[in-house]
């Protein structure tokens, strides 16, 4: 396999940003690194799913947070948990793996549902529909307090995953001063990424993957070749949504409690920034994009403390999002193909 | 249900004015502007800055005193600032993108980044708190069959008058004609001697001024928040889509319909105790409209695909 210069550069930049974490944080660097690698794994996985939508098929999906949300909520509700204002306990439930699979399938099903408009709508309209559908989902989850816990959220579910934590994680975390539960989530996230990437690589080279990319390039040509473009789009929507669902579940396990405020549109925009940074249409791009993105995010707190003395939480978050907005703009203007993407594979105009 | 009609009309006027602005911009430039909400918030924040009493230091890092101008003057100044801001965006950002042949989808993503950026500038440097305009409290009165304060009634009337004047200008002046020509084909209009750059600049300015006005209305009726524009953005999209993207009259009616639907849906039996979900009703209507009648109520089919 030929390794391109772009790839080497991405590896170098990722390595350099991890080095920066160590250089900037003389103390506790490994703990910060674990935290950001966990987030990077989860968001990277989500961005890989988004890339199936936008990068491969050219579907302008701005409701990605809702796919993550469906996966997370369905999985958690099926397992033992506590929810709502009173912390009502549900002590019986399915085992983690079964609940996870149902959660991922539900996310894919929601993708199918949301994908139905994609049959009729042009790119920019689809963007509006998906972001609106994601908001509807969030408002409904917020309102259905008896099932989802509403604004009070869901708690006491982490044990469902943590009970499978192997012993070596405990020993390893103890020696490095990590939180063993986060180390386990981190490991699961990166194993998920590994399998997803292998799976997508296989798909990408299959006739199905080629047909998908052909839909992005020229839908009419796909039809002329006797392929069902609509069904291909829907399959793409389901696949990407399923991957997002998995990342949503992991996100819930990383947070330790699940609230509707997690799935605001800004989550989608984070994932978009990661996807563009890594390279639209690539498979491994979002991994590099995600790590670099989270290094930037986790080090912006310094910037906030330069701008404001005694910056409060609102100001820290504000500076982060300021940078995210700037990053999205700058990337889209100056380097829309990101680190690894190919410009000719980028869908930038409405079809 | 009817008691919500007054609130519906007030939400309607905000969405309506903002939808006309969004629709105008989309019609001429084909930009789906996600940063529209931030221009709306700018109108409200600038009005607050111009009109608040001088000793009232809450804006802009608490460092700068507001100017304490007369309220009407403040509104006019704020609308002008919004127009200038729109011009700035067009000249510094969107014109270079257009000249560089950056595609529609890329520009859409740029407006999303811009929206996030500006919104958090407001949060950091303008106002992190919910604030009200320095206006005295008024009691609600009943007009015909709806309740609202006299000030809000004035807002309603002013908004309708502004939109009618605007619609008249768009339909009957040379400028309006030129705008429609650029909308239909930038190249053909350039060939016929229309300076399309200038027309697009004027479009940005007028769209931003209208958006700023909508923000002032929103702030008078409710309050000033850093994210007020983003909160209402999807409803504005819904209003625009419902009326038919690219038609000013459609956007006006669509905006009112969405506003009334949102507020009236609070009174529906199954919505009891679920007032937060009222926006979901409007968004669901928008999705249905896009699925079954993408040209909206007043749009023409050929403008869609």
- ipTM of the modeled complex: 0.88
Q: Using the predicted structure, report yes or no on whether residue B302 has a pLDDT greater than 70.
A: no
Indicate the burial class of A104 (C-beta count within 10 angstroms; 0-12, 13-18, 19 or more).
Answer: buried
- Count up the domains in chain B and report the number: 1
Whole-angstrom Cα distance, residue A76 to residue A249? 8
Contact yes or no for A124 and B104 at CB 8 A: yes
**Alpha helix segments (H runs only) across A79-224:** 96-115, 123-143, 145-148, 159-162, 167-176, 180-204, 207-217, 219-224
Identify the pLDDT of residue B296.
74
Identify the pLDDT of residue B56.
62
Q: Looking at CA atoms only, how far is residue B169 from chain A in angstroms?
A: 28
Whole-angstrom Cα distance, residue A237 to residue A242? 8
Identify the pLDDT of residue B78.
94
Contact yes or no for A269 and B108 at CB 8 A: no
Contact yes or no for A349 and B104 at CB 8 A: yes
The fraction of chain B above a pLDDT of 70, given in percent, is 90
pLDDT band for position A208 (50/70/90)? confident
Identify the pLDDT of residue B303.
46
Q: Looking at CA atoms only, how far is residue B108 from chain A in angstroms?
A: 8
Residue of chain A with shortest Cα separation from B305: A122
Tell me the pLDDT tens digit for each residue of B176-188.
888 888 887 778 8
pLDDT band for position B273 (50/70/90)? low
Identify the pLDDT of residue B57.
58
What is the rounded average pLDDT of the residues B3-29?
Answer: 89
The fraction of chain A above a pLDDT of 70, given in percent, is 96
Average pLDDT, chain B: 85
3-class DSSP state for residue A284?
coil
Q: Using the predicted structure, report yes or no on whether residue A251 has a pLDDT greater than 90.
A: yes
Look-up: residue for tokens 């996807």?
A275
Better-predicted residue by pLDDT, A245 or B173: A245
Q: Using the predicted structure, report yes or no on whether residue B305 has a pLDDT greater than 50.
A: no
Q: Using the predicted structure, report yes or no on whether residue A286 has a pLDDT greater than 90.
A: yes
Q: What is the DSSP letter of A2?
A: P
Which residues make Cβ contacts (< 8 Å) with residue B197, sequence separation at least 6? B95
Q: Which residues of B touch A266 (CB under 8 A)?
A: 116
Residue among B114, B120, B283 whose CB faces A135 most closely: B283
pTM: 0.90
CB of B251 within 8 A of CB of B16? yes
Q: Looking at CA atoms only, how far is residue B294 from chain A in angstroms?
A: 8
Contact yes or no for A315 and B124 at CB 8 A: yes
Q: Is A140 on the interface with B (CB under 8 A)?
A: yes
pLDDT band for position B162 (50/70/90)? very high
What is the rounded average pLDDT of the residues B294-301?
Answer: 70
Contact yes or no for B238 and A132 at CB 8 A: yes
Q: Which residues of B touch A121 (CB under 8 A)?
A: 290-291, 294
Specify the range with the lowest mean pLDDT, choosing from A98-112, A270-284, B119-133.
B119-133
The tokens for A253 are 């396990």
Identify the pLDDT of residue B16.
94
Q: Using the predicted structure, report yes or no on whether residue B237 has a pLDDT greater than 50.
A: yes
Average pLDDT, chain A: 87
What is the rounded average pLDDT of the residues B280-296?
Answer: 81
Better-predicted residue by pLDDT, A245 or B2: A245
Q: Is A213 on the interface with B (CB under 8 A)?
A: no
Q: Looking at CA atoms only, how far is residue B184 from chain A in angstroms?
A: 16
Residue among B109, B234, B304 whose CB faces A132 most closely: B234
Specify the range with the lowest mean pLDDT, choosing from A53-62, B67-76, B118-127, B291-300.
B291-300
Q: Using the predicted structure, report yes or no on whether residue B269 has a pLDDT greater than 80.
A: no
Residue among B32, B283, B294 whose CB faces A136 most closely: B283
**Interface probe with B: pick from A63, A134, A348, A351, most Cβ of B within 10 Å:** A348
What is the rounded average pLDDT of the residues A31-49?
Answer: 93
A154, β-bridge pairs: A83, A258
Contact yes or no for A124 and B290 at CB 8 A: no
Output the DSSP codes for B244-304: -TT-HHHHHHHHHHHHHHHHHHTTSGGGTT-GGGHHHHHHHHHHHHHHH-TTTTT--GGGT
Whole-angstrom Cα distance, residue B124 to residue A307? 10
Identify the pLDDT of residue B87.
96
Identify the pLDDT of residue A187.
93
pLDDT band for position B89 (50/70/90)? very high
Which residues make Cβ contacts (< 8 Å) with residue B70, sequence separation at least 6? B51
Q: Is A335 on the interface with B (CB under 8 A)?
A: no
CB of A42 within 8 A of CB of A244? no
Q: Using the predicted structure, report yes or no on whether residue B200 has a pLDDT greater than 80.
A: yes
Identify the pLDDT of residue A351.
46
Q: Using the predicted structure, report yes or no on whether residue B274 has a pLDDT greater than 70.
A: no
Output the DSSP codes for chain B: -GGGHHHHHHHHHHHHHHHHHHHHHHHHH----TTHHHHHHHHHHHHHHHHS-TT---SGGGTS------HHHHHHHHHHHHHHHHHHHIIIIIHHHHHTT--HHHHHHHHHHHHHHHHHHIIIII-SS-B--S------EEETTEEE-HHHHHHHHHHHHHHHHHHHHHHHSHHHHHHHHHHH-HHHHHHTT--HHHHHHHHHHHHHHHHHHHHHHHHHHS-B-TTHHHHHHHHHHHHHHHH-TT-HHHHHHHHHHHHHHHHHHTTSGGGTT-GGGHHHHHHHHHHHHHHH-TTTTT--GGGT-
Q: Using the predicted structure, report yes or no on whether residue B62 has a pLDDT greater than 60.
A: no
Q: Using the predicted structure, report yes or no on whether residue B304 has a pLDDT greater than 50.
A: no
CB of B210 within 8 A of CB of B18? yes
pLDDT band for position B81 (50/70/90)? very high
Identify the pLDDT of residue A348.
63
Residue B92 belongs to domain spanning: 2-303
- Which CATH number do you get for residue B158? 1.10.3470
């Amino acid at each position: 396999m030929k390794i391109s210069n772009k790839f080497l550069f991405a590896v170098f930049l990722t390595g350099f940003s991890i080095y920066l974490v160590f250089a900037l944080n003389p103390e506790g660097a490994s703990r910060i690194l674990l935290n950001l690698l966990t987030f990077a794994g989860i968001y990277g996985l989500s961005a890989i799913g988004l890339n199936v939508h936008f990068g491969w098929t050219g579907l302008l999906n701005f409701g990605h947070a809702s796919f993550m949300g469906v996966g997370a909520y369905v999985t958690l509700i099926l397992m033992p948990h506590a929810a709502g204002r009173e912390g009502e306990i549900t002590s019986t439930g399915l085992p983690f793996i079964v609940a996870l699979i149902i959660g991922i399938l539900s996310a894919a099903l929601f993708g199918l549902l949301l994908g139905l408009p994609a049959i009729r709508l042009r790119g920019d309209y689809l963007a509006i529909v998906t972001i609106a559908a994601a908001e509807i989902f969030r408002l409904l989850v917020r309102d259905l307090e008896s099932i989802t816990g509403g604004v009070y959220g869901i708690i006491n579910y982490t044990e469902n995953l943590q009970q499978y934590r192997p012993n070596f994680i405990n020993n390893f975390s103890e020696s490095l001063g990590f939180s063993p539960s986060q180390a386990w989530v981190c490991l699961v996230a990166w194993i998920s990424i590994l399998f997803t990437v292998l799976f997508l690589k296989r798909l990408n080279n299959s006739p199905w993957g080629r047909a998908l990319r052909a839909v992005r390039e020229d839908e009419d040509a796909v039809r002329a070749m006797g392929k069902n473009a609509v069904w291909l789009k829907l399959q793409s929507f389901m696949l990407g949504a399923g991957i997002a669902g998995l990342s949503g579940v992991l996100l819930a396990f990383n947070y330790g409690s699940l609230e509707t405020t997690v799935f605001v549109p800004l989550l989608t925009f984070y994932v978009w920034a990661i996807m563009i940074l890594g390279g639209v249409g690539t498979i491994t791009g979002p991994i590099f994009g995600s790590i670099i993105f989270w290094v930037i995010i986790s080090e912006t707190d310094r910037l906030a403390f330069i701008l404001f003395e005694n910056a409060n939480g609102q100001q820290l978050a504000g500076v982060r999002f300021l940078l995210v907005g700037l990053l999205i703009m700058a990337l889209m203007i100056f380097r829309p193909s990101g680190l690894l993407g190919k410009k000719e594979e980028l869908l930038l105009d409405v079809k | 249900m009817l008691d919500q009609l007054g609130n519906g009309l007030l939400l309607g006027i905000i969405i309506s004015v903002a939808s006309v602005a969004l629709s105008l911009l989309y019609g001429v430039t084909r930009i789906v502007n996600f940063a529209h909400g931030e221009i709306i918030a700018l109108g409200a924040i600038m009005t607050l800055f111009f009109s608040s009493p001088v000793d009232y230091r809450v804006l802009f890092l608490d460092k700068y005193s507001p100017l304490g101008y007369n309220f009407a003057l403040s509104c006019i100044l704020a609308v002008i600032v919004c127009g200038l801001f729109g011009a700035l965006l067009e000249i510094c950002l969107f014109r270079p993108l257009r000249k560089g042949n950056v595609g529609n989808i890329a520009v859409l993503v740029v407006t999303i980044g811009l929206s996030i950026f500006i919104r958090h500038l407001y949060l950091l440097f303008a106002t992190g708190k919910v604030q009200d305009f320095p206006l005295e409290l008024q009691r609600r009165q009943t007009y015909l069959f709806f309740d609202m304060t006299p000030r809000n009634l004035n807002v309603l009337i002013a908004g309708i008058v502004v939109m009618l004047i605007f619609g008249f200008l768009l339909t009957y002046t040379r400028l309006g004609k030129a705008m429609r020509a650029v909308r239909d084909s930038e190249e053909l209009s350039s060939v016929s001697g229309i300076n399309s750059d200038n027309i697009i600049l004027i479009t940005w300015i007028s769209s931003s001024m209208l958006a700023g006005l909508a923000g002032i209305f929103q702030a008078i009726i409710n309050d000033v928040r850093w994210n007020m524009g983003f909160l209402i953005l999807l409803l504005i999209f819904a209003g625009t889509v419902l009326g038919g993207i690219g038609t000013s009259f459609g956007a006006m009616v669509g905006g009112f319909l969405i506003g009334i639907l949102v507020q009236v849906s609070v009174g529906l039996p199954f919505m009891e105790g679920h007032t937060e979900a009222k926006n979901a009703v409007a968004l669901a209507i928008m999705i249905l409209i896009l699925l079954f009648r993408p040209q909206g109520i007043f749009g023409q089919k050929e403008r869609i695909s």
